[in-house]
Amino acid sequence: MIAFTPAKINIGLFVTGRRNDGFHDLESIFIPIPWKDALEIELNEEPGIHLTSHGLPIPGALEDNLIVKAYHLVASVCDIPGVHASVVKNIPLGAGLGGGSSNGAHMLRLLKDVCSVEAEPEQWNQWAAALGSDCPFFMQDEAAMTYGRGERIEPNPSILTHLKGWHIAILHPGVHVSTREAFAAIKPSPAPFDLRELPHHHVEDWGDLIRNDFEGIIRKKHTVVDQAIIQLQQSGASYVQMTGTGSAVFGLFSNERDATETSRWGAKKGWRTHCCAF
């Protein structure tokens, strides 16, 4: 069985406090986008999990991959057969697009179907939260308001209704941003705006209402991120923002031509880009 695992963008990202467990409290709107990896699993006679990857290289030890971790989380509680998993990586890593989290969450979803794992919805959500802060979002397929460290999900379909007909261009300037380092440099502050109210405001006005709290930090550290943001602004985007802890940035365009041209500009620089309509 195969799953095409989407990336996400953040619309607004407020870091509102530091928790006793060492994580931070966040408020953000997550929107899935059709920039996807492909993840396939099949049953294997040998116990455990065997993972192969193609496409973009995945750094780090195999046991740290969220696909592998997802398998072991379920196997620690349920009697499941061995599997062979294969992933084709298209979503840039260290970009704030949630590609690894999406892989891990969809591995849980595939195991549920392929291995007929019978567990309560709350158990699946707990497994997802144990994998990573963004993983619970990818257990469902809709835009959502997220709270806490990302594990509290409130569906928000109105944001996509509001963005219908808009186009997005995403530029990834090729640098890998460490999430740990980004959080280490952040100073929490109260949310300046209720993101649930965003669909009541014109996209052109969003820049006066919301922000990504990590953006200023990453722009100073990585000049190419600053360059990407400036290019999106100069290309006519109505709203420009870095997603997650970076380094991917996006612009919302009212017309397809400007979004497409901006994406092509990034591609000519050797950056990975994505362009689509809502």
What are the structural domains of the chain?
A: 2-155 (3.30.230.10), 158-277 (3.30.70.890)
pLDDT confidence band for 62 (50 / 70 / 90): confident
Q: What is the mean pLDDT of the chain?
A: 95
For residue 78, which phi and psi values (nearest 5 degrees)? -120, 150
pLDDT digits (tens, 9 = 90+) for 114-169: 999 989 999 999 999 999 999 999 999 899 999 998 889 999 999 999 999 999 99
Residue 15 has pLDDT above 90, yes or no: yes
Positions marked catalytic:
8, 134
pLDDT confidence band for 193 (50 / 70 / 90): very high
Question: For residues 73 and 127, is the Cβ–Cβ distance under 8 A?
Answer: yes
Task: Tell me the whole-structure pTM to 2 decimals.
Answer: 0.95
Burial class (CB in 10 A: 0-12, 13-18, 19+), 57: exposed
User: What is the Cα gyration radius of the chain?
Assistant: 19
Residue 276 has pLDDT above 90, yes or no: yes
Tokens of 168: 């997005």
pLDDT digits (tens, 9 = 90+) for 96-123: 999 999 999 999 999 999 999 989 999 9
pLDDT at 125: 92
